Amino acid sequence: MKHVIIALVLAVVGCKKKNNSAPPPPGSGATAPAGSAAPETKPPETPAAKPAPFEASGIAECDAVLETYKKFQACAKIKDEDRVVQDVNVGGLKDVVGLVGKAQDDAERDVAKTAAVANCKDQDAKLAQLIKDAGC
């Protein structure tokens, strides 16, 4: 069962790759892909508040992610692609946190909680850095 928990944690918190297919900079000699136009610039909109991806768990590090996620969602300067990736990542924590409650014994619970704490700390740090980088 311990291997199943570890495999699930790794699958849930897997690496997300951004799509970096932006048009080439002007004057670079490269051409933009066919059918692409210059990106439209418009002022940032205030994002609609999203519900929390999971309930407070009682695990302090995971509950902290929920608070940081609220700040992340409130920042209008966050790029849409970052929003999508982080929505998936934070949503995946629901499964990681859920494993703690589904553990069949204390040893399994300790492994699941250790994994949840590590993943939540990592996600909280990623969100905090994105918020900082965006200037929010």
Residue 7 has pLDDT above 50, yes or no: no
51-57: Cβ within 8 A, 24+ apart:
53/87, 53/90, 53/91, 53/93, 53/94, 54/91, 54/93, 54/94, 54/97, 54/98, 57/97, 57/100, 57/116
Alpha-carbon distance of 59 to 48, in angstroms, equals 27
Q: Which of 5-9, 19-23, 61-65 has the lowest mean pLDDT?
A: 5-9
- Residue 8's nearest CA partner among 105, 81, 99, 122 is 99
For residue 121, the number of C-alpha atoms closer than 13 Å in the C-beta half-sphere is 6
**pLDDT top residue among 63 and 19:** 63
Confidence at residue 54, expressed as pLDDT on a 0 to 100 scale? 67
Mean pLDDT value across residues 47-60 = 68
pLDDT at residue 6 greater than cutoff 90: no
| Per-residue model confidence (pLDDT) at position 11 | 44
**pLDDT band at residue 95, thresholds of 50, 70 and 90?**
confident
- Which percentage of the chain shows pLDDT scores above 70? 60
Average model confidence (pLDDT) across the chain? 74
For the segment 89-95, the average pLDDT, to the nearest whole number, is 86
Q: pTM for the complete prediction?
A: 0.61
> Does residue 21 register a pLDDT over 50?
no
**Model confidence over 40-53: pLDDT tens digits?**
544 444 445 555 66
